[in-house]
């Protein structure tokens, strides 16, 4: 093979390494996670607090739960259910196996991290289950990236980039709060931290975009959009706390600033995408919609964090919430990518390689299950 790129149909959905050995390793890990989580959840639901199998109710003092019922249900059905579904889908070579592996590994890992942060106690079982969750998650990430499926690459890269970026403003807030810094000092720091968050997100999006993008330019525009959004948010918070500013003024500014914050990033990114997609303006609305749904998920840690929460525990909980937000944003924003009419390497109107001739200058994102194999010996 010395010339064209070839589109192949892979053995879809099978986490790498391919073949029975790799597949059944994932199945065994998922079964172990499922059995442990379901057994633990049922025990929390049925056994009495303070018994041999269940800790005393006092360990819930730093959590929003009054009993072990809700934690038991979450452990059994969410964590255990995700792992059980993963085992079945991987064993049956389902097209959704990689997605299931990612979710199962993430669910177990986040559960253990959140449990450690809330209970503020470490046992050897925590270490075992962290290793198990990370192993499942790692297999899913490697499989997704090696699969060549654009959606899975986007999901992994964007979730990781936004999750990493979100940790920067979270760290600023937690450290500044612990140090007793004034709001007027923290606000500009958060705008800078937000720009760093946008920089990492933009780079991750450019890395996984179905067609090559100028990564530095795309990341810089994304950073500028994120800084604008954070500046709008900090300005609104400052106005809200200013006793001399009438409520009507605050509401009026919010009506203008909120949409500006929501659409700024997509608009700036679309200015780069116009050279690489037939319908770049669709990205503005798609990104705004994705953020509208994903952003509230970043607040899911708030019921578990109070003034007495240790710094590291609070950081871990907020990072988990940020990853949940990042995953939702990655899933929703991919729908926007599929609506862009992504062009081939020759510019607008040239079909993507392996797609066949474009009609009236329209080209589409490669099919999710198409693998692009680079030429050998070139």
Same domain, 159 and 128: no
At residue 33 the predicted structure's pLDDT band, cuts being 50, 70 and 90, is very high
The reply to whether 88 and 196 lie within a common domain is no
Three-state DSSP class for 280? Answer: coil
Range of the domain at 250: 149-378
Given a cut of 70, whether residue 79 has pLDDT beyond it is: yes
Q: For residues 205 and 290, is the Cβ–Cβ distance under 8 A?
A: no
Query: Of 105, 120, 147, which marks where a domain is finished?
Result: 147
The two structure tokens encoding residue 163: 């999750």
- Check whether residue 142 and residue 240 sit in a common domain: no
Q: What is the DSSP letter of 305?
A: -
Report whether the peptide linkage leading into residue 17 is cis, meaning its omega lies within 30 degrees of zero: yes
Q: Which of 330, 351, 334, 333 is nearest to 342 (CA)?
A: 351
Tally of structural domains, the chain: 2
Indicate the residue among 106, 132, 147 that finishes a domain. Answer: 147
Same domain, 232 and 377: yes
| Mean pLDDT, rounded, of the chain | 82
221 and 85, same structural domain?
no
Q: What are 42-69's pLDDT values in tens digits?
A: 988 887 776 776 777 777 777 788 888 8
Which pLDDT score, from 0 to 100, does residue 15 have? 41
For residues 104 and 168, state if they share a domain: no
- Mark whether 111 and 130 lie in a shared domain: yes
Beta strands in the chain (DSSP E): 6-8, 371-373
CA distance linking residue 180 with residue 160, whole number of Å: 31
**For 148, phi and psi rounded to 5 degrees?**
80, 0
108-124 pLDDT, tens digit per residue, is: 999 988 888 777 777 77
- Residues 22 and 128 sit within 8 Å (Cβ to Cβ): no
**Residues 288, 351 within the same domain:** yes
Position 344 pLDDT exceeds 70: no
Out of 130, 147, 164, a domain closes at 147
Q: What is the pTM of this model?
A: 0.82
């Amino acid at each position: 093979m010395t010339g064209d790129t070839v589109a192949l149909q892979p053995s879809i959905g099978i986490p790498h390494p391919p073949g029975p050995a790799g597949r059944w390793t994932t199945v065994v890990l998922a079964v172990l996670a499922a059995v442990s989580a379901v057994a633990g959840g049922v025990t929390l639901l049925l056994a009495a607090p303070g018994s041999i199998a269940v800790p005393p109710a006092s360990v819930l003092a730093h959590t929003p739960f009054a009993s072990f019922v809700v934690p038991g249900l979450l452990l059994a059905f969410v964590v255990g259910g995700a792992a059980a579904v993963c085992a079945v889908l991987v064993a049956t070579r389902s097209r959704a196996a990689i997605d299931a592996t990612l979710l199962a590994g993430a669910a177990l890992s986040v559960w253990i991290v959140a449990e450690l942060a809330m209970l503020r106690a470490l046992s050897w079982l925590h270490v075992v289950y962290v290793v198990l969750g990370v192993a499942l998650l790692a297999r899913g990430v490697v499989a997704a990236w090696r699969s060549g499926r654009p959606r899975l690459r986007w999901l992994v890269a964007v979730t990781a980039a936004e999750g990493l970026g979100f940790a920067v403003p979270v760290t600023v807030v937690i450290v500044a709060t612990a140090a007793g810094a004034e709001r007027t000092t923290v606000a500009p720091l958060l705008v800078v931290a937000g720009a760093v968050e946008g920089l990492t997100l933009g780079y991750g999006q450019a890395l996984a975009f179905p067609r090559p993008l100028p990564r530095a330019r795309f990341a810089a525009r994304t950073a500028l959009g994120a800084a604008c959004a954070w500046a709008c948010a900090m300005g609104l918070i400052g106005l809200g706390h200013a006793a001399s500013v009438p409520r009507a003024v605050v509401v009026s500014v919010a009506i203008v600033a909120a949409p500006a914050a929501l659409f700024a990033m997509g608009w700036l990114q679309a200015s780069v995408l116009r050279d690489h997609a037939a319908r770049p303006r669709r990205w503005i609305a798609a990104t705004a919609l994705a953020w509208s749904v994903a952003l509230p998920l970043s607040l899911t840690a708030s019921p578990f964090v109070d003034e007495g929460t240790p710094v590291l525990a609070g950081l871990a909980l907020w990072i988990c919430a940020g990853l949940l937000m990042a995953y939702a944003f990655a899933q929703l924003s991919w729908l926007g990518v599929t609506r862009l009419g992504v062009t081939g390497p020759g510019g607008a109107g040239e079909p993507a390689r392996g797609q066949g001739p474009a009609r009236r200058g329209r080209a589409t994102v490669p099919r999710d299950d198409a693998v692009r194999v680079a030429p050998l010996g070139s």
